Chains A and B, each alone.
Chain A
Amino acid sequence: MNSLLLIILILLGGAILAYLSKRISPMLSSIVSFLAITSAALVFFFLANDQEIVKISLGDFVLEWGLNAYSWIFGAMVMVMATLASLFSIFYMKGKDRLGYFNLNFDLSVMAMMGILFSLDWVSFFIFWEIMTWSSFLIIVYNGISEGKIGIKYMIFSAIGGYAMLLALVVTRSQIHSFLITDLIHSFAGFSGNMQALLGLLFLTAFGVKSAVMPLHVWAPRAYADSPMSYTAIFSGLLSKMGIFGFGIMLIAVFSHSVDGTIFVYREVLAWLAAITSVIATFYAVIQTDAKRLLAYSSIAQLGYIVMGLAIGTKLAVMAALFLAIMHAIYKGTLFMVVGAVERQTGITDMTRLGALIRKMPWTFFAALLSIIALAGIPPLGGFVGKWMLYESLITSDHYFLIILAFLSSTAAFLYSFRFLFGIFLGQEEKEFENVKEVPFTMVLPMLIGSLLLVVFGTFPGLLFKPLASAMSFLGMGDVSWNMSMLSNGWGDHVDTLDVINSVVIIFVLVAIFLGLKNRKRTRYVSTKDIHTSGEIPTENENLTYAVDFYKPFERAIAPVMKRKMDFYYNKFGEGLETFFDFLRRVYTGNGQTYAFYVIVFLVILIVFSQQIFF
Chain B
Amino acid sequence: MVISPVHYIAVPLLAAFLMPLLAKIHRELTRIVPGLVILYLGYVSVVLMNQVMAHGTIVEVIAGWNAPWGINLVYSPFTGFLASMMTAMAFVIWLYSYRFKKVDSQPALKYFILFMMLVTGTIGIVLTGDIFNFFVFLEITAISSYSLTAFYRDRDGAEAAFKYLLIGSFASAFILIAILLLYTQVGTLNMAQIAVRMHDVPTHMKITILILFLVGLGIEAEMFPLNGWAPDAYSQAPSPVGVTFAALVVKAGVYGLIRIIFTLFDVHGAYEYLIVMGAITLVMAELAAIRQKSLKRMLAYSSIGQMGVVMIAFGIGTNEAVFGAIFLMFNHAVIKGLLFMSGSYLVYNTPNKEIQYLSGYGMKMPLISLFFSLGALAIVGLPPFAGFWSKLYILIAAADNQMIGLIALILGVSIVEIVYYFRVVGRLYFGKPSKGSIMQKPTYGGVIAMSLLAIVILVVGFYPDVITPYIHNAADALLDKAQYIHSVLPNADLSQIQNLK
Is any CB of A less than 8 Å from a CB of B in the complex?
A: yes
Q: Are A588 and B383 in contact (CB under 8 A)?
A: no
Provide the residues of chain A in CB contact with B393, threshold 8 Å.
59-60
Q: Identify which of residues 139-153 in chain A touch chain B, using a CB-to-CB cut-off of 8 Å.
A: 141-145, 147-148, 151-152
* Cβ-based interface call for A155 (8 A): yes
B165 to chain A, nearest CB (A): 9
Answer whether A613 and B273 are a contact pair too, CB < 8 Å, given A97-B363, A131-B383, A152-B426.
yes
Q: Which residue of B lies closest to A593 (CB)?
A: B166
Cα of A614 to Cα of B210 in the assembled complex, Å: 9
Contact B384 A167 (CB under 8 A): no
Check A148–B384 contact: CB distance below 8 A.
no
- Contacting residues of chain B (356-374) with chain A, CB-CB under 8 angstroms: 362-363, 373
Which residues on the A side are within 8 Å of B134 (C-beta)? none
Q: SS class of chain B's interface: helix, strand, loop or mixed?
A: helix
Contacts of A131 in B (CB 8 A): 382-384
**Stretch with Cβ within 8 A of B (4 or more), from A231-239, A276-284, A602-610:** A602-610
Q: Determine the chain A residues whose CB is within 8 A of the CB of B414 once the complex forms.
A: 159, 163
Among A87-95, A169-177, A403-411, the one that faces the other chain is A169-177
Asked if A152 and B423 make an inter-chain contact with CB atoms under 8 angstroms apart, the answer reads yes
A128-168 CB contact bits vs B (8 Å, 1 = yes)?
10110110011001111101100110011001100110110
Q: How far is the CA of A601 from the CA of B404 in the complex (A)?
A: 31
Known pairs A155-B422, A167-B404; A595 contacts B267 (CB<8 A): no
Instruction: Find B163's partner among A98, A152, A164, A595 (CB 8 Å cutoff).
Output: A595
Contacts of A166 on B, CB cut-off 8 Å?
A: 392, 395, 411
List the A side residues contacting B399 at CB < 8 Å: 170-171, 173-174
- The reply to whether B207 and A594 form a contact with Cβ atoms under 8 Å apart is no
Bound Cα distance A585, B231 (Å): 12
Chain A interface bracket (under 10, 10 to 19, 20 to 34, 35 or more) = 35 or more
* Interface pick from B5-13, B287-295, B340-348: B287-295
Chain B contact residue count (CB 8 A cutoff):
72
Chain B contacts for A432, CB-based, 8 A? none
Instruction: Give the CA-CA distance A595 to B388 in the complex, in Å.
Output: 34
In the bound complex, what is the Cα–Cα distance between A166 and B208 (angstroms)?
40
Main secondary structure of the interface of A (DSSP, over half): helix
- Give residues 194-222 of B contacting A (CB, 8 Å): 203, 206-208, 210-211, 214-215, 218-219
Interface: A569 (CB within 8 A): no
Min C-beta distance of B195 to chain A, whole Å: 17
Interface membership of B398, Cβ < 8 A? yes
Considering the complex, give the chain B residue whose CB is closest to the CB of A600: B170
For the complex, give the distance between the alpha carbons of A58 and B459 in Å. Answer: 12
Number of A-B pairs, beta carbon distance below 8 Å: 178
Is residue B429 contacting chain A, with contact meaning CB distance below 8 A? yes
Chain A residues within 8 Å of B395, by CB: 166-167, 170
Separation of A215 and B245 alpha carbons in the complex (Å): 42
Q: Does A7 contact B (CB under 8 A)?
A: no
Within 8 A of A (CB), among B251-283: 267-270, 272-273
B218's closest neighbor in chain A, by CB? A602
A127/B363 contact (C-beta < 8 A), A59-B468, A614-B207 known: no
Give A610 to B382 CA distance when docked, in angstroms. Answer: 39
The 8 Å CB contact of B383, one of A126, A160, A606, is A126
Report whether B464 and A148 are in contact in the complex, using a CB–CB cutoff of 8 Å. Answer: no
Q: How far is the CA of A603 from the CA of B398 in the complex (A)?
A: 28
Query: Chain B contacts of A198 at CB under 8 A?
Result: 404
If A159-B414, A166-B411 touch, whether A148 touches B389 (CB-CB below 8 Å) is no
**Bound-complex Cα distance A131 to B427 (A):** 20
**Residues on B with beta carbons closer than 8 Å to the beta carbon of A138:** 373, 425, 429
In Å, the complex CA distance between A141 and B400 comes to 38
CA of A407 to CA of B383, assembled, Å: 41
- Looking at A57, A151, A587, A599, the one whose CB has the most chain B CB atoms below 10 A away is A599
- Which has the most chain A C-beta neighbours within 10 Å: B163, B402, B425, B429? B429
Find chain B residues with CB under 8 A from A173 CB. 396, 399-400
- Bitwise, A39-58 to B at CB < 8 A (1) or not (0) is 00000000000000000011
Q: Select one of B232, B377, B415 contacting A163, CB under 8 A.
A: B415
A148 and B427 within 8 A (CB): yes
Contacts of A584 in B (CB 8 A): 284, 287-288
Q: Are A148 and B468 in contact (CB under 8 A)?
A: no
> B288 contacts which chain A residues (CB < 8 A)?
581, 584-585, 588
Q: Which of B159, B273, B419 contacts A156 (CB 8 A)?
A: B419
Q: A148-B426, A595-B228 are in contact. Are A615 and B408 (CB under 8 A)?
A: no
Contact call B411/A163, Cβ cutoff below 8 A: yes
State the Cβ distance, A591 to closest chain B Cβ, in Å.
Answer: 9
Which A residues are in CB contact (< 8 Å) with B415?
Answer: 156, 159-160, 163
Q: Which of B373, B384, B388, B414 has the most CB of A within 10 A?
A: B384
Given A148-B426, A152-B423, are A159 and B418 also a contact pair (CB < 8 Å)? Answer: yes
- Measured CB to CB, the closest approach of chain A to B81, in angstroms, equals 16
Residues of A161-197 contacting chain B, CB below 8 A: 163-164, 166-167, 170-171, 173-174
Decide if A261 is an interface residue (CB 8 Å cutoff).
no
B418–A156 contact, CB under 8 A? yes
A595 touches B398 (CB 8 A): no
Does B226 sit at the interface, judged by CB under 8 A? Answer: yes
Residues from chain B with a CB closer than 8 A to the CB of A593 are 166
Residues of B within 8 A of A492 (CB): none
State whether B211 touches A610 (Cβ < 8 A).
Answer: yes
**Contact present for B468 and A167 (CB under 8 Å):** no
> Smallest distance from the beta carbon of B205 to chain A beta carbons, Å?
11
Would you give the shortest CB distance from A26 to chain B, in whole angstroms? Answer: 14
Q: In the bound complex, how far is the Cα of B423 from the Cα of A141, in angstroms?
A: 10
With contacts A58-B463, A131-B384 known, is A144 near B429, CB below 8 A? Answer: yes
Contacts of A601 in B (CB 8 A): 225
Q: Provide the bound-state CA to CA distance between A88 and B192, in Å.
A: 69
Cβ of B174 < 8 Å from any Cβ of A? yes
A535 contacts partner chain B, Cβ-Cβ < 8 Å = no
* A596 nearest in chain B by CB position: B166
In the assembled complex, A578 has its CB within 8 A of some CB on chain B: yes
Residue numbers in A under 8 Å from B429 (CB-CB): 101, 138, 141-142, 144
Query: Is A582's CB within 8 Å of the partner chain B?
Result: yes
**Max chain B Cβ within 10 angstroms of own Cβ: one of A57, A58, A587, A601:** A58
Beta-carbon contact of A174 and B167 below 8 Å: no
Q: How far is the CA of A58 from the CA of B388 in the complex (A)?
A: 12
* A193 to B: closest C-beta gap in Å: 15
Interface residues of A in 83-129 (CB under 8 A from B): 97-98, 101, 123, 126-128
Whether B392 lies near A123 (C-beta < 8 A) is yes
Chain B residues whose C-beta falls within 8 Å of the C-beta of A126 in the assembled complex = 383
Contacts of B404 in A (CB 8 A): 167, 171, 198
A98 to chain B: which residues have CB within 8 Å? 362-363
8 A-B pairs with CB atoms under 8 Å apart are A58-B465, A144-B430, A148-B426, A151-B422, A584-B288, A592-B163, A595-B167, A615-B268
Question: Closest 4 CB pairs between A and B?
Answer: A144-B430, A595-B228, A148-B426, A585-B288
With A143-B430, A171-B404, A595-B228 given, name 15 new contacts (CB 8 A).
Answer: A58-B463, A59-B389, A127-B383, A130-B382, A131-B383, A151-B426, A163-B411, A174-B399, A589-B228, A595-B163, A596-B166, A599-B215, A610-B211, A613-B272, A614-B269
